[in-house]
Amino acid sequence: MPSEYFFKKGLEKLKKEGKNFFLFFDFDGTLVPIQNNPAHCLLSSPIRGQLKKIILSGSASIAILSGRSLPDIKKRVQLDGIYYGGNHGLEIAGPGINFIHPEAHSFKHIIEKVSQSITEATRNFPGVFIEKKNFSFTLHFRMACKEDKRLVRRIFHSIISERFAGYTFRVIKGKQVLELAPDTMWDKGRAALFILQKLNRNNLPVYVGDDFTDEMAFMALKKRGITIRIGRSQKTEAEYYLKGQYEILKFLKTIYGIIER
Ligand SMILES: [Mg+2]
């Protein structure tokens, strides 16, 4: 079922459900606009300020679940007292939680080898680069020309299926990126449920994200919480949508308004 505009339909539901929230956010494309170079994505001061106010209110918890590595996401957000999930939740840290998925460790070495092979094979394509993330890596080609994008995708898949045929991986297709991760039964949805369970919280989960990987969380949380996609889509599992990333500040201010009433 297509989602409905949050500020038209979802807000009333959110107000009715109470004010004790557990807010989950994706990072790129949700808390920050997507940039050509992911190194340029930093949290803006107005967004950081609103998140901080929400945390300091003591009425809500916040988790940021990203495909980036844990150290990278922490460095870009720089807020204390919140939960961080790196590698789509394979590594989670925050008050009372310090978690690394056991299978992430065992795959680390082979992921590194694949990353080296793909780095070598794609090094002469302008605008193509690899982001190493400890337990996974991402091949970025947003800045490459159309022809190179096609070639680089083909190289990625052929290296995995030919040179590393004996292994199974999870390939995650993102926005102008391909990611290689351990083949575990784990995703942002399971990570969000894990956090709620581990902390034994009865807060209302509210999840905001824009990616395919966030769809797992929409599915996991839609019965017990409020799920919001950045950008309208016919195919999403999210119940509501925001018109674009630019509405996130308004959203955070609204949440704070509800908490403070
Ligand atoms: Mg995203």
How confident is the model over 4-48, as pLDDT tens digits? 999 998 999 888 887 689 999 999 999 999 988 888 889 999 999
Active site annotation includes 80: no
Beta pairing partners, 64 = 25, 84
The structure's pTM equals 0.93
pLDDT at 1 over 80: no
Interval between CA 32 and ligand 1 midpoint (Å): 9
Write down the catalytic residue from 26, 72, 187, 210: 26
Interval between CA 261 and ligand 1 midpoint (Å): 31
Least confident residue range of 12-21, 76-85, 176-185, 225-234: 12-21
Which domains does the chain carry? 4-101+186-260 (3.40.50.1000), 102-182 (3.30.70.1020)
Going by pLDDT thresholds of 50, 70 and 90, the confidence category of residue 49 is: very high
Token couple for 71 = 């150290």
Interval between CA 130 and ligand 1 midpoint (Å): 18
Q: What is the mean pLDDT of residues 235-258?
A: 96
Q: Do strands 137-140 and 129-132 pair parallel, antiparallel, or not at all (unpaired)? A: antiparallel
Interval between CA 43 and ligand 1 midpoint (Å): 13
Q: What is the DSSP string of the chain?
A: ---EEIIIIIHHHHHHH-S-EEEEE-SBTTTB---SSGGG----HHHHHHHHHHHHHTSEEEEEE-SS-HHHHHHHH--SSSEEEEGGGTEEEETTEEEE-HHHHHHHHHHHHHHHHHHHHHTTSTT-EEEE-SS-EEEE-TTS-HHHHHHHHHHHHHIIIIITTT--EEEEE-SSEEEEEE--S--HHHHHHHHHHHHT--PEEEEEE-SHHHHHHHHHHTTTSEEEEES--SS---SEEESSGGGHHHHHHHHHHHHH-
CB hemisphere CA count around 232 (13 angstroms): 6
Q: What is the mean pLDDT of residues 229-255?
A: 96
Interval between CA 204 and ligand 1 midpoint (Å): 22
pLDDT in tens, 75-92: 999 999 999 999 999 999
Mean pLDDT, the chain, rounded, equals 94
